Amino acid sequence: MAFLKRGESPSKKRRLYLLEIEMPSGMQCVKIGVASGNNSLERMMQVNRDIFMKFRYTAKIGIKRDREVDADVVFKYETMLHRFFRDHQYIPPRKFDGSTELFAVPLEDAVQAFEAVLEGYEPDFTYVLPEVDPADELPEYLQ
């Protein structure tokens, strides 16, 4: 147990995290959430355990961002990001712990939005997927 000096209040911090998850179907998505522990590793393990229990599959999960944020604003930041990506929410065929916080967006865009919110920017629109030329998705030998 840590001791505090008289007059000090305990640290009120939470972890805002961004996970990249490959679902059993192969679908790549990101999960944006809040962990109350010292880091997001425990939360990642909880999510992976629940995915395994529901799908009998060990998901590939990576922690892409994990930041300590004041408890009084962490849920505001999480809500901002969820609203920003709401049109691209991914709903898996079976619910699991944290499945309501999944979004089918490119990781780079999620990281950029995550960092922008932490820097104090508040989006005033919802995310729009970048247009992709179908020819860009073909293997080189077919182009």
Confidence bin at 3 (pLDDT 50/70/90): very low
**Stretch 32-61: mean pLDDT:** 91
Q: Give the start-to-end residue ranges of the domains of the chain.
A: 13-127
pTM summary value = 0.82
Map tokens 């005033």 to a residue.
124
Confidence bin at 13 (pLDDT 50/70/90): confident
Confidence bin at 36 (pLDDT 50/70/90): confident
3-state secondary structure 12-42: CEEEEEEEEEECCCCCEEEEEEEECCCCCHH
Instruction: Tell me the three state secondary structure of residue 48.
Output: helix
pLDDT of residue 48 exceeding 90, the answer is yes
- Residues for the chain: how many in total? 143
**Stretch 118-135: mean pLDDT:** 86
Between 135 and 75, the more confident residue is 75
pLDDT in tens, 73-112: 999 999 999 999 999 999 999 999 999 999 999 999 999 9
